[in-house]
A and B are shown apart, each in its own frame.
Chain A
Amino acid sequence: MLKLLIATLLAAPMLSAQVVTANNCVHQVGDNPDWARPDFDDREWSKQIPASGDSPYVWTRCRVDLSSLPPTVPVHIGVRNLAPWELFVDGKLAGSFGDIRTGLGSTSSAQQAVPAGAVTGKTITLALRQLPIRLNRAFPTGLAAGAEDSLQVRNSARVSAMLRATWSRNIVGAFSLIIGVLLLLLYAFSGDRNRRELLWFGLYCLAIYSITLREIALTLSSFPYAISVFWYALSVAIFSLVSPRIFFALSGRPLPVFYSGLATANAGVILLAACVRVLTPIHGMQEVKPWLNLVVDIGPFLDLALQTSAAAAFWPLWRVPGPLRLARNLSLLVLLGSASFNVTQLPALGLSSWAILGASIQPILILAATIGLFIVIARRHRDVALDRAELQGEMKAAQEVQRLLTSSTSTLDAAPWASVEVAYSPANEVGGDFYYCRHTAEGQLVVVGDVSGKGLRAAMLASVALGALRHSSVSSPGPLLEGLNAALHGQTGGGFVTCCAALMRRDGRLVVANAGHPSPYVGGQEFPVEAGLPLGILPVSAYQESTGQGESITLVSDGVVEAENAQRELFGFDRTREISTKSAQEIADAAKAWGQNDDITVVTVRRLAP
Chain B
Amino acid sequence: MVTPTKTKVEQNGDLVVMRFEGDITSASEEAVLGHYKSLAAGTTKILLDFTKVPYLNSSGIALVIQLMMAASKVPQKVLCFGLTPHFVKVFTMLGLARYTTLHADEAAARAAVQ
The chain A residues found within 8 Å of chain B, CB to CB, are 450-454, 494-496, 498, 514-519, 530-534, 537, 558, 561-562, 564, 568, 570, 572-573, 598
CB pair A568–B97 under 8 Å, yes or no, is no
**Closest chain A residue to B99, Cβ basis:** A533
The one of B26, B63, B66, B94 in contact with A516, judged by C-beta atoms closer than 8 angstroms, is B94
Given contacts A564-B55, A568-B54, contact A514 B93 (CB under 8 A): yes
- B11 contacts partner chain A, Cβ-Cβ < 8 Å: no
- Interface footprint category on B: 20 to 34
Write out the residue numbers on chain A whose beta carbons fall within 8 Å of the beta carbon of B66: 494
The secondary structure that dominates the A interface is: loop
Q: Is the CB of A453 within 8 A of B62?
A: yes
10 contacts between A and B (CB under 8 A): A452-B58, A453-B58, A453-B62, A495-B59, A518-B93, A531-B93, A533-B96, A537-B65, A570-B55, A573-B86
- Interface mask (B31-75 → A, CB under 8 Å = 1, otherwise 0): 000000000000000000000001101110111011001000000
Which B residues are CB-close (under 8 A) to A531?
92-95, 97
A65 to B41, alpha carbons, bound, how many Å?
A: 96
B86-107 contacts to A (CB < 8 Å): 86, 89-90, 92-97
Contact between A570 and B61, CB atoms less than 8 A apart: no
**Given A494-B66, A573-B86, A452–B59 Cβ distance below 8 Å?**
yes
* Known interface pairs A450-B58, A495-B59; A533-B94 also in contact (CB < 8 Å): yes
Distance in angstroms from B77 CB to nearest chain A CB is 18
Q: How far is the CB of B34 from chain A (nearest CB, A)?
A: 14
Considering only CB atoms, which chain B residue lies closest to A557 in the complex?
B58
Residues of A within 8 A of B57 (CB): 562, 598
Q: Which 5 A-B pairs have the closest CB atoms?
A: A452-B58, A531-B95, A516-B94, A452-B62, A453-B59
List of B residues within 8 angstroms of A498 by Cβ: 58, 94
Task: Compute how far the CA of A454 lies from the CA of B58 in the bound complex, rounded to whole angstroms.
Answer: 9
> Which residues on the A side are within 8 Å of B65 (C-beta)?
496, 534, 537
- Among B55, B61, B89, B93, find the residue whose CB has the most chain A CB atoms closer than 10 A: B93
Complex Cα gap A519–B69 (Å): 24
B67 to chain A, nearest CB (A): 11
CB distance from B22 to the nearest CB of A (A): 12
Closest chain B residue to A497, Cβ basis:
B58
Q: How far is the CA of A562 from the CA of B59 in the complex (A)?
A: 13
Q: Is A494 a contact of B62 with CB atoms below 8 Å?
A: yes
